[in-house]
Amino acid sequence: MKWKQYALVVLLSAVVFYANLGGYSISILDEAKNSTCAMEMREAGQPFLPTFNGELRTDKPPLHYYLMGTAYSWFGYTPFAARFFSAMMGVLTILLTFFITDRLLNNKTAWITTIILLASIHLSLQFQLAVPDPYLIFLVDVGLFGFAMFASTSRKRYLYIMYVALALAVLAKGPVAVGLPGIIFLTYLIITKQLNWYYLKSLAIPQGVVITLLIVLPIYYQLHIQSGGAWTEGFFFKHNLSRFSDTMEGHGGGLFYMPLVLAFGLLPFSFWLPQSFKLAWIERKQPLLLLSLIAVAAYIIFFTISRTKLPNYPVPCYPFGAILLANYLHKVDFNSRWFKVSLIALVAVLLVLPGGVKLGLEADPDFTAHRQLWWWFILLPLGGAMTFFLYRRNLIMALAAMAISFGLFNQVIHYVVLPRLDKELPTVDGLSVLESTSSLRYFEALNPAIPFAVAQVVPKMDSSAISDYLQLDPANLLITNDRHIKRLEEIPRLEVRYAAKDPFEKRTWYFLGAAFQDE
């Protein structure tokens, strides 16, 4: 019975995406800002003014803040709560992809697609972050799959599901949620020679516009009014138009950046992507295959053109890339030359990977203490070797061997690697110092994880007031980093209560207090 297969897909997905979900802190910049913003909105009882550390935050729409706030009400202000619905979006994405592939292609291809997605280390990391992208990925994929179902069945209900999902995606990330799917749909109609008035009428576009406006406008209007227009200006002009036309926050990349992200994201099976694209084009009369091919191409090309590039940008196309790969692997002739070439190349890369990681860890002084972690990478070439010996006998067993090795390595990342590195972060290692203070202030730079760690706003302080502030109470604490600490050398009786280097940001953070002398 199909419900048993669906239950198994949910179980496997939950094992991957909920792996040690609260076992390491909220530390990276985006997670910290989004988690803190949701916390501050809930504390203030204010659903329409997103703030980080007491200041208006215009980076993202508020959908994920609402769901994170719900999880906070269940589990408290914890990393698990902040990431809870992100992981759920991952489970739902895998389940949806399995359902659609099974419905429009076949059951075997659906299972291979699921194996490919669950083996993706990048995908598992993405769905464990307290950021809006997991919500965007799921909702955009609902919209794209809704279009695929309509193209295959002509049933209008799938169009309405598509419009609702894409409208909610706009509340999760912004206009890009409808912009890219719109390009994909238009390209599909052009290739299939259906860009005509009759077919456009069948898409119920006016109803879709009304649905989108009814869902999006009330929230965006309140954000505009209650921020005095500041949110609208910051969100649309800075965080949307500028991200496409300018490189923001140093997040640039070359011509091959996005293709390499796709290849990494669908490892280990991405070595067969070229063959998969070719086969999908040959079989383009199948709506799901053609839409999947267009979706992958659209995301890679669009974000290659964009001046701002981040590795999370093409992730919504991963399920479609997995479908293309699964379609190829389901039908491949194991004796074909190009199948063997890709398999040999994959195994060769996996064999040298542990040694490369070992050299990299030893070369970086911030990670030399963790150089023994390279041993865990041996799981990956073992999986490659098993695949090499099994592929002639049983495709599913061979693919499962590869997926299991990557799946086990993913568990190692979440249960061993991340918790170990997490202990060295200043916001974790120095948390007892932060919690023992009467009052916190910062000078020029604030580690974004601190407001969430201490569950309070940390005000900024001018250098002229620092001496009086620290002398007022021995427990008062000032936070800054190595970029600004030299400017405080003239302040008398200033002592370092705690200092540590963030191995990821390459910045040393200082917790400073007054050095009181015994009378």
Looking up residue 470, the CATH number of its domain turns out to be 3.40.190
Asked which of 381, 407, 422 is the last residue of a domain, the reply is 422
- The answer to whether residues 34 and 130 touch, using CB atoms and an 8 Å cutoff, is yes
Q: Is the pLDDT of residue 252 over 60?
A: no
Asked which of 331, 349, 371 is the last residue of a domain, the reply is 331
* pLDDT confidence band for 171 (50 / 70 / 90): very high
From the CA atom positions of the chain, what is the Rg in Å?
A: 25
| More confident position, 368 or 62 | 62
- The answer to whether residues 328 and 279 touch, using CB atoms and an 8 Å cutoff, is yes
Encoding tokens for residue 209? 């516009």
pLDDT tens-digit profile of 132-161?
Answer: 999 999 999 999 999 999 999 989 999 999
DSSP labels, 16-82:
HHTTTTTSS---SHHHHHHHHHHHHHHHHT-SS--EETTEE--SS-SHHHHHHHHHHHHH-SSHHHH
Q: Is the pLDDT of residue 294 over 80?
A: yes
Q: Is the pLDDT of residue 388 over 80?
A: no
- The answer to whether residues 163 and 207 touch, using CB atoms and an 8 Å cutoff, is yes
**Average pLDDT for residues 244-249, to the nearest whole number?**
49
Say yes or no: 168 and 184 in one domain. Answer: yes
Tokens 């293709």 found at: 259
Say yes or no: 236 and 302 in one domain. Answer: yes
DSSP strand pairing (507-514 vs 439-442): unpaired
**Residue 382 forms part of a structural domain:** yes
**Residue 242 forms part of a structural domain:** yes
**Average pLDDT for residues 252-268, to the nearest whole number?**
84
Say yes or no: 506 and 470 in one domain. Answer: yes
Residue 516 DSSP class: P
Residue 377 DSSP class: G
**CA quadruple 299, 304, 307, 311: dihedral, nearest 10:** 70
Cα 343 to chain centroid, rounded: 28
- pLDDT of res. 342: 85
**Residue 320 forms part of a structural domain:** yes
Encoding tokens for residue 390? 């099994």
Structural domain span for residue 510: 426-514
**Residue 519 forms part of a structural domain:** no
- The answer to whether residues 35 and 120 touch, using CB atoms and an 8 Å cutoff, is no
Say yes or no: 241 and 145 in one domain. Answer: yes
Please name which of 64, 80, 61 lies closest in space to residue 72, comparing C-alpha atoms.
80
- pLDDT of res. 241: 56
Say yes or no: 265 and 141 in one domain. Answer: yes
* pLDDT confidence band for 337 (50 / 70 / 90): confident
- pLDDT of res. 377: 82
* pLDDT confidence band for 516 (50 / 70 / 90): low
Please name which of 195, 323, 179 lies closest in space to residue 244, comparing C-alpha atoms.
179
**Average pLDDT for residues 41-65, to the nearest whole number?**
88
Q: Is the pLDDT of residue 519 over 50?
A: no
- The answer to whether residues 150 and 194 touch, using CB atoms and an 8 Å cutoff, is no
Say yes or no: 461 and 430 in one domain. Answer: yes
Q: Write b or e for each residue in 298-311: b if 16 or more Cβ atoms lie within 10 A of its Cβ, otherwise e.
A: bbbebbbebebbbb
Say yes or no: 204 and 268 in one domain. Answer: yes
Q: Is the pLDDT of residue 78 over 90?
A: yes
Say yes or no: 281 and 313 in one domain. Answer: yes
Say yes or no: 392 and 480 in one domain. Answer: no
Cα 385 to chain centroid, rounded: 30
Mean pLDDT, the chain, whole residue set:
87
**Average pLDDT for residues 208-235, to the nearest whole number?**
88
**Residue 212 forms part of a structural domain:** yes
Please name which of 238, 239, 241, 274 lies closest in space to residue 259, comparing C-alpha atoms.
274
**Average pLDDT for residues 180-203, to the nearest whole number?**
91
* pLDDT confidence band for 250 (50 / 70 / 90): very low
Say yes or no: 365 and 448 in one domain. Answer: no
| Beta pairing partners, 507 | 502
CB atoms within 10 A of CB 432: 9
Q: What is the count of structural domains for the chain?
A: 3
**Average pLDDT for residues 123-136, to the nearest whole number?**
94
Percent of the chain's residues with pLDDT above 90 = 45
Say yes or no: 352 and 306 in one domain. Answer: no
Say yes or no: 363 and 290 in one domain. Answer: no
pLDDT tens-digit profile of 18-34?
Answer: 999 999 999 888 899 99
Residue type, 161: I
**Average pLDDT for residues 441-468, to the nearest whole number?**
88
Q: Counting every residue, how long is the chain?
A: 519
